[in-house]
Amino acid sequence: MRIDRPPPGLAAWQAAGAATTAAAALHIGPAGTWLPPVRRALFPGLDGQGHPGHIALTFDDGPDRASTPRFLDALDGLGVRATFFLLGAALAEAPEVGRDIVTRGHEVGLHGWDHRRPWWPAPVRELRDLRRAVRAAADICGVRPRWYRPPYGILTGGRWAAAHRLGLRTVLWSAWGRDWVAGADAAAVVRTVERRLEGGATVLLHDSDRTSAPGSWHATLQALPVLVQHCRRQGLIVGPLRDHGTDDTGW
């Protein structure tokens, strides 16, 4: 009787294929949390859900010498403090603005070193770059950030592992203004935020056009006092994530 045997090397190919599939799943699986219904239902901490009487106001992509000081002045005028998710590369370019954020009483979080898309698994690079951003914040701003928000809100396995290893808590958002798009104006930013704005929400805005349409931050700056007054009319306190009461058992 003849017994058919698998061709030489087939088992190795199959094992390699299985390993590749598993690595891809670990890399991209957490990115499903980018979908708001998934976050809201399954991961309220990652969604930024906090105390029902509080709104966490957050800004991404700074610091920027041209725009961030304008936001700091506006927030001073409103009597509001916020959380700024800084890019390490931007902080290295404008260290005095990063220091001013902290001096004025705001909270610093990290948005990574740069703003690249995570097309392929790169856990070593993710850890290296995020550690570099942590060190920049410590050296320049004199603080060790608690929060991390991945670029584009895409939380891969490598990004989550890097943040966890460095003791950072990952948080995305509950409401955003889509203030990065070309042609956005203040009214559109306000309308978009208000669709998801309720007590306990974390709001995502941008204080820089570093990765957005040129000049888009002007619309955000004009929308800011309107949004703050809207929250206050609802009896909501606007502040940073440190005062938000976000569940520490999350991501």
pLDDT in tens, 11-45: 544 443 333 333 344 445 455 665 677 777 777 88
pLDDT of 112 over the 50 cut? yes
What is the reported pLDDT for 7?
A: 64
pLDDT at 38: 73
- What is the reported pLDDT for 37? 74
- Rg (Cα) of the chain, in Å, rounded? 21
- The whole model's pTM is what? 0.85
Rounded Cα–Cα distance for residues 181 and 116 (Å): 18
Task: State phi, psi for 85 to the nearest 5 degrees.
Answer: -90, 105
pLDDT band at 9 (very low <50, low <70, confident <90, very high): low
Domain locations in the chain as residue ranges: 31-243
Closest CA to 196 of 177, 181, 212: 177
Q: What's the mean pLDDT when you consider all of the chain?
A: 87
Using the predicted structure, report yes or no on whether residue 150 has a pLDDT greater than 70. yes
Distance CA 91, CA 231 (A): 30
Catalytic sites, residue numbers: 60, 206
Q: Is the pLDDT of residue 230 over 80?
A: yes
CA distance 183 to 165: 40
Nearest to 105 by CA among 136, 66, 74, 72: 72
For residues 167-192, average pLDDT: 96
- For the ranges 14-23, 65-74, 233-242, which has the lowest average pLDDT? 14-23
Domain 31-243 classification at class level: alpha beta
Angle at which helices 217-233 and 68-78 pack, to 10 degrees?
20
